[in-house]
Structure formats: structure tokens, C-alpha cells
Homo-oligomer: A and B are copies of this chain.
Amino acid sequence: MARPVDTAAPSLVDDVSFLLARANALALAAGNAALAEHGLKARSYSVLVLSLAADAPTQRDLAEFLRLDPSQVVALVDGLETRGLVERRADPSDRRVKVVVATPAGRALAARAHVSAGEAEERAHAALSADERETLRDLLRRVAFPGADG
């Protein structure tokens, strides 16, 4: 840029929260671009991946894990269900809850999308070595899940 902001004087570049926001914006843009060819975005990809788990999540679980309002999860699951990628299954023990589980088509798409997402992440974090990426992953995990203790 012709007239760059002085990155030394303001404390913004030393603000971890700001760096977090900017790094996330870059990774999100790269991730969404990579997932677009599969008809997915970061949100729907996350729901799809979580629905692969052996212990399938309820919509409430998804909302808590992804920090979304339950009403937003409805729309995300609707979109995936319409495409035949996930199914809603009533829980026999509590008929209020609905468990979200990936279909075979959903599992296949998730596998392909995972490759694309991995490539995008590779490019987004090209500035870091493998060791540094591992360190970043561990530190972020502890910040993102404060109560985990592990």
C-alpha cells in the first residue's frame, strides 16, 4: 500500500485479540473459498464434521460447541438435510431431542471437503513451520476451551 499505517506506534498489532481477529478473518476467507466447491461454508462444514461422530450430537450440543444460537442450528441442519447429507433422528429416551447424524453421502462429502479445507489451512499458515503450527494449535486449544484442563 502506498501510505501504510504506522504499525509500530499503535498498540493494535500487539493486541492478541486483534491479531486473533485478523488471523481468523484470513483463515475464514481461505476456508470458505476452498469449501465453496463442495457447496459448504465454515459453519455448515463444522456441523457436517461434528455429525460424523460415533456419539452423534444433538442440536443443542452443536449450538454450544459452535457458539451458535439453537435457532441458527435449525437453519444449518435444514440446509444439510435438504441435500441428503445429514439426518435428524429422534432420541427414543427423550423425544424432545433430535440427534444429527451424517448420511453415507454426507460422510463422503465431508471426506472430500476435509482435504480442501486442509489445503486451505496449509496455505493460510504457510508462514509457520510444522512445529510452530503444532504449538499454535495447542495454545489456541487452551484459549478456545478454557474449561478443558487438558
Contact = CB atoms under 8 A, between A and B. Distances in A.
Interface stretch (A1-9, A73-81, A82-90): A1-9
A71 interface: no
Contacts of A52: 9-10
A142 B127 contact: yes
Interface residues of A, number: 65
Interface in A46-98: 46, 49-50, 52-55, 57-58, 60-62, 64-65, 67
Contacts of A1: 60-61, 64
Nearest to A21: B24
B23 A143 contact: yes
Interface of A: 1, 3-7, 9-28, 31, 42, 46, 49-50, 52-55, 57-58, 60-62, 64-65, 67, 114, 117, 120-121, 124-128, 132-133, 135-137, 139-146
26 contacts: A3-B58, A3-B61, A5-B61, A5-B62, A5-B65, A9-B53, A10-B49, A12-B46, A13-B145, A14-B137, A15-B117, A16-B137, A18-B42, A18-B46, A19-B137, A20-B24, A22-B144, A23-B144, A25-B67, A26-B144, A26-B146, A124-B143, A125-B143, A127-B143, A128-B143, A139-B139
